[in-house]
Structure formats: structure tokens, C-alpha cells
Structure 1
Amino acid sequence: MSLWEFFVAFILGMVEGATEFAPVSSTGHMIIVDDMLLKSKEMLSEPVANTFKVVIQLGSILAVVIVFKDRFFNLLGLKKRTTAHQQGSTQLKLSVVIVGLIPATILGFLFDDYIDEHLFSVNTVLIALVAGAVLMLIADKFAPKYVQAETVDEVTYKQAFFVGLFQCLALWPGFSRSGATISGGVLLGLSHRAAADFTFIMAVPIMAGASALSLISNWEYFTPDVLPFFIVGFISAFIFALISIRFFLVLIDKIKLTPFAIYRIVLAAVIYFVFL
């Protein structure tokens, strides 16, 4: 592979990792960086380019698993309960996470083909960028005065289910999973940090499942000539997602969602006026 191809793999992995879990829409950024600038589908066949995007998404998912490894060990019963839990404090239950996953899982299964055919266009992504920004502004403006769940351990089944309904908005490319679910969580009485933590934890099974199915159906494209491209992108996405997630979790309770909403509107304007 050429040096340019390695550079493209690195940049795409960086963009995916840096934006996948921030509420700014990784799809919108990919439109600018890949579809309009780097054009990886011109150096790779379209199926291989699409498979590559699944691979780098797995790099981002692995970063979430690393950041929340103790949470996942607890959820799966692979780690002893903490002293605080033994003294009576609650901890997030796997069943609460499952309840949050139900709406988007069902809707995604039913409308996956429709979404692929009708919602993956620059115009629909632009609309989703702005619509998601509006929801985030609404969440910051009309958040309940009293937080009902300061930490993710206090999320109830009811809150989990309705956050899951908000997650369905993320099936619309460009809306942003974290933007939709954090906004929904805040409107439902979660703190910004609790909503972010719950968003990231929910994202792992639903994204990993969808990515695994996609990889199984596209396994034939893992050929020796493109494997280095895939590996570079995966590692890049993992590293930058790790940095992005840790940075975002420190910031979210301090700056809330409004700065990200403004950024999304500016991004949509750039795509519209510069690239269309």
C-alpha cells in the first residue's frame, strides 16, 4: 500500500474516533473528510470502503470498553461488588441497560433497509445535524431544575426506556447517538454526566452487534492487500476515541450541550455552502 493510502486510513480512523461518541455526528464529519476530500471509495471498491468504516467503528467501541471496563465487569457479574454497593448503594443493573436498548433495536431491525435506501444522503444528514442541535439546545434550556439521577447508578427502568426512545433518533444518519440520548436523558432528569455514561454504556452492545453482523456478511473483503489499511484505521480510531471520550466526560458537566449544538449548526453550514 502507498504512503497516501496509509495516511487516508489514519485520518479516517482519527475522524471516526474523535467524533463517534461526541454529540457532533461522526457521519457529518465523514461526509467532509472522506466523501468530499479524501474519497476513499475511489481507491477502494465501495464494499471494501464500507467494510473499512465498520472496522474503524469497532476501534471506537473498544475504546469505550476500556474506559468503562469496571462498569462492564460489574454488569456481567465478572467483578466483585464494591464496598459501597455492599453497604446498600445501588449500582447500574444489566437489566436497566437492556430496557434502554429495546426501542432502537426493534426499530433498527424493522427499518434498516429503509434507512439505508432513503436517509443516507448529504441533504438528510444536514437536516439531522440541525435537528439534533435544536434538541440539544432544548435539553439545556428546559432541563428539570432538580436532577433525579446524579450518577448512572441511579437511572431507573422508566428513564432507561425513554432514553432508549430518544436513541431511536440516532437511526437517522447525522443526528448523533450521543446527542440524542444525552439530550433525552437530561430532559428526563439525569445529570449531563449520568446521561453521557449511560449513552456510552448502551452504545457498546447495539453498535458491536450491528458491526459484527456487518463484518460477518462482508468477511470476504478482508484480503491481504487491504488488511494493513484496516489495521491502521482501527488503531487510529481506537487511540483518538480513547482521548475523545475521556476529554468529553471531563467537560460535559461543565459546558453542557450548547457549545456542541452551535458547532453542529456551523458544521452543517460549512457542508452546505462549501461542499454543495
Structure 2
Amino acid sequence: MSLWIAIIIGIIEGLTEFLPVSSTGHMIIAGHAMNFTGAKAESFEVIIQLGAILAIAVLYWRKVLRLFGVKDKSAKQAQGPQLNLIHIAIGIVPALGLAYVFRDYIKLLFMPETVIISLVVGGIFMMVAEKIQPDVTADTMDQITYKQAFFIGISQILSLWPGFSRSGSTIAGGMLAGTSRAAAADFTFIMALPIMTAACGYELLKSYSMMTMDDALFFAVGFVVSFVVALLAVSTFIKLVGRLKLTVFSYYRFVLAAVVFIYFIF
């Protein structure tokens, strides 16, 4: 396997992980365009996502430590309820549970044809969330209630369909539950840390026996590239997600679906 493939897909992952456009969908499309498919490709696409997610750990390290009771003495402590590990658990259990039960069936969806459909359906879901969003009761991540965290967790189940987008489904779900777009985005990124760590660990345990040293280098290059690119891009992208309506990203998804349809099917 050419290391250029690892670099290209690593760049795509780093650029798209934090936008509601589906990084997995983009990697599947790129992989099929470069004839990079199969079991190793699927494992690679999961594992390098952790590289991009680690950029969030770097950016949000104070908030992550606060979840475990470590106080930041240099910052003014917020008053009232704050995000805690119960919120995270409520948010991740639904998707993690179903992902484990239906993991073999989910892998069958890693193809351009299914990504086309999910890009469109996910885009419509995001537009609906923008259209019918109720009054905001949680302006910041710390104001998210357990009920809202659960609704976001249920919405995250939709992201098991490759191309739907984890951030797209959870941000839209959060908005429908009464959170601001920025609060839902912050919660989504924090919630991604345990989810992707678990998914990456599972993939490594499942596939390490069939990997060679060349495979290890290939995976490592993709991992590092996705981390570096995401680290450089994450601040800008988080601001975009907070300021731009999801409708803008929906239009992009529709255009991408049309392009993929013409390239692979038409």
C-alpha cells in the first residue's frame, strides 16, 4: 500500500472530522476512488479517526480533566451545574451498544452507494433541525441536561450509517432538544473521545494479528497526518460549526452526493 494513500486519507479525515459532512463518508469515497477497499481499509478508516479526535483532547484538555474532578486553578470556576461523566455516559451508551451488536452489518454499508443516500438523508435531517429548533435552554455545554444528553445520544445512533456524520446527527439532535448549535458541537466533540477510543481499540484488537510491519507504518502515517491536520484546523472549524447554520453544510452534502452519484453510478 502506498504511503501516499495514507497521507491523502489522513488529510481528508483531519479536514472533515469536525464538520457535519461525514469524515467516514469522505474516506469511503476517496478509498473507492483510489481502489483502497477491503477489511484493512475499513480498519484504517476507523483507527485514523482517533488521530483527529486526539486534537480535541489537546484543545479541550481543561474541560476533559474537569470531568474527572480536576479543577483548573488558573480559570474562574463556573457557577451552577456543569458537564460531568454522567452526561457523557448517557450520550455514548446508545450508539456504542448498537455499534457492538450490529458491527458486522454496519461494515456492509461502507460503500459509495450507501454513502450517497446517507449524505442526502443526513442533510435533510440537519435542515429540519434548523427549521423547527425549539427555544434554546442550553447556551453552553455546561447547561446541557441529562435529558438533552440522552436525546443527543439517541441522535448519534444515526451516525452508525456511514455518511450520516456523527457531528451532524448529534448537533442537529441537540438543537432539536433545545441546545444551542455551539453547545451541541462542544458536547459532540467531548463525547467523541471515549467513543473513538473504544472503536479504535476494538479495531486494533480485531486486526492486529493480520497486520505486517508495512501495515503498521501505513496506519501510523495516516494516524499522525490526521492528528496534525486536525490540530491545525480544529479551531477554525469549531468556530464555523458554531456560527454557520447547518443548512450550509446540508447544501454541500447534496452537491457531494450528486458528484459521487455521477462518478460511481451514472
Scaled to the shorter chain, the TM-score interval is over 0.9
Q: Secondary structure, in 3 states, of the residue corresponding to 1:213?
A: helix
Structure 2, gaps ≥5 residues long: none
**Helix, strand or coil: the match of 2:102?**
helix
**Is 1:274 equivalent to 2:263 in the alignment?**
yes
- Residue of structure 2 in register with 1:15 after alignment: 12
CA distance in 2, matches of 1:151, 1:209: 26
CA distance in 2, matches of 1:252, 1:225: 37
1:80 deviates by 4.5
Residue 130 of structure 1 corresponds to which residue in structure 2?
Answer: 120
- Give the secondary-structure state (helix, strand or coil) at the position aligned to 1:218: helix
Report the TM-score when normalising by structure 2: 0.92
Gaps in structure 1 of 5+ consecutive residues: none
Q: Which residue of 2 aligns with 1:24?
A: 21
In the alignment, is the contact (CA less than 8 A) between 2:53 and 2:193 conserved in 1? Answer: yes
Q: Deviations over 1:131-158 (max 9, x none)?
A: 00001111111112x3100000000000
2:243 counterpart letter in structure 1: K
Match among 257, 264, 275 for residue 246 of structure 2: 257
Decide whether aligned partners of structure 1 residues 48 and 106 sit closer, same or farther in structure 2, where only a CA change above 3 A counts. Answer: closer
- Contact 2:19–2:241 (CA<8 Å) still a contact in 1? no
Percent of paired sites with the same residue: 47
1:108 corresponds to which of 99, 105, 129 = 99
Are 2:6 and 2:221, in contact at CA under 8 Å, matched by a contact in 1?
A: yes
Structure 2 residue aligned with 1:79:
71
Matched residue type, 1:66: V
In the aligned structure 2, how far is the partner of 1:217 from the partner of 1:183? 32
- Whether 2:26 is the aligned partner of 1:60: answer no
Distance 1:112 1:55, change over 3 A: closer
CA distance in 2, matches of 1:51, 1:128: 20
In 2, Cα distance between the equivalents of 1:29 and 1:49?
A: 13
Question: Which moves more between the two structures, 58-67 or 176-185?
Answer: 58-67
Match of 1:236 among 203, 225, 239: 225
After superposition, the C-alpha distances for 1:46-104 in whole angstroms (9 at most, x for unaligned) are 4433333233122112112112111111112233475333xx33321111111111221
State the one-letter code of the partner of 1:159. Answer: Q
Following TM superposition, by how much is the alpha carbon of 1:127 offset from its aligned partner in structure 2, in angstroms? Answer: 1.0
Q: 1:178 Cα shift?
A: 0.5
Give the aligned residue type for 2:144.
Answer: V
Q: Does the CA contact (< 8 Å) of 1:22 and 1:244 recur in 2?
A: no
Q: Is the 8 A contact 1:48 1:221 kept in 2?
A: no
TM-aligned CA deviation for residue 222 of structure 1: 4.2
- Following the alignment from structure 2 to structure 1, what is the Cα–Cα distance between the partners of residues 106 and 29? 21
Aligned residues: 264
Partner of 2:35: 39
